[in-house]
Amino acid sequence: MPEAHPFTATVTLPRDDTAEHVAEPTAHGALHWAPHHDAGYGARMQALAEWVADTGPDACVVDVSVEVAVFLRLLGVPVIVVAQPGDRTDPAHTLVYQVADHILAPWPRELNTPRWLLPHAAKTSYVGGISRFEGRTVDGYDADRDARIRAGELNVLLLGGAGGGFDKRIPSAGPDGVRWKALGGAGGDWVDDPWAAICDADVVVSHAGQNSVADLAAARRRAIVIPQPRPFDEQEATANVLARHGLAATATGWPDDDAWPLLLQTARESDPGRWRRWRVDGAAARAAEAIEDTAHRCRRPVA
């Protein structure tokens, strides 16, 4: 029989965002979402408490929710928090990074060391970009393709997504020799595995979510990264890092049609080999090692 996947057992938590009336959701500015007398929110936290009582986890990794991370820690569970880019200096993020037993930053330390993480340097692992495509074959040097790209003949992929896709269509006009294709978002096709389409593209137009950036780095594609509006300026911060270190061309907001030629030229002239600096290779293993080390360090005392 095939080995069971480590995440086969899942718990679907009740929704906590369906109440008609919401009262004091930020706990007087200390949290992000903890409304008074909200049945869904209460049921969600109860489900978490029951899961902890039933399974006795050695540690938990929390991706986004401050409230979940703090609640688990109050239940006595060691917590590993995944950091996110942007301005995380508000009281809720200050609290969660303080109580975390360890912090994972899914980007390279050499390119981005936020000032708000500096007080927690001793318990932070900068593991690099984590991509599901790590280890897949990347196209080697192709002289014909390189000459075509230098001549301005480009296959451009507009890469969207369910939660971060663009609501814009392929530009109605553009330089001669540019062929557009869209995946995801409002106007693109949907596929289970976009790897082939990413690798076939000479330039990929993407938002600045952490997964998408790591996928671009794994494929080492020339890219135009357009940050989408997110809380705490998360994507804008990532795009600024990419532009500052020459990993991708960037734009603020969806470009007008007449802005595309310069953006495509900038992307075309970039060095895709610089994506190695995003440290995708080995990132997942480094994250797993940090999680395991934290669980061992915080293990229950032996009777």
Distance in angstroms (rounded) separating the CA atoms of residues 129 and 41: 32
Mean pLDDT of the chain: 91
- Cα 137 to its chain centre, rounded Å, is 22
Per-residue pLDDT tens over the stretch 42-81: 999 999 999 999 999 999 999 989 999 999 999 999 999 9
* Residue range 144-152: mean pLDDT, rounded: 80
Higher pLDDT, 279 or 8: 279
CATH class given for the domain over 143-278: alpha beta
Candidate CATH numbers 3.30.1490, 3.40.50, 2.60.120, 1.10.287; the one for domain 39-127+282-297:
3.40.50
Q: According to the model, what pLDDT value does residue 5 have?
A: 74
- Tokens standing for residue 218: 């794994």
Question: 134 versus 170: which is more confidently predicted?
Answer: 134
What per-residue string of b and e applies to 234-252 under the rule 16 or more CB within 10 Å gives b? Answer: bbbbbbbbbeeeebbbbbe
Give φ, ψ of 156 to 5 degrees.
-110, 130
Pairing of strands 102-105, 178-183: unpaired
Q: Name 135's Cβ contacts closer than 8 Å, sequence gap at least 6.
A: 281
Q: Where are the domains of the chain?
A: 39-127+282-297, 143-278
Lowest mean pLDDT among 11-20, 150-159, 239-248: 150-159
Same fold? 39-127+282-297, 143-278: yes
What six digits make up the tokens of 182?
A: 């869209």
Q: Is 264 exposed, middle or buried (0-12, 13-18, 19+ CB in 10 A)?
A: buried
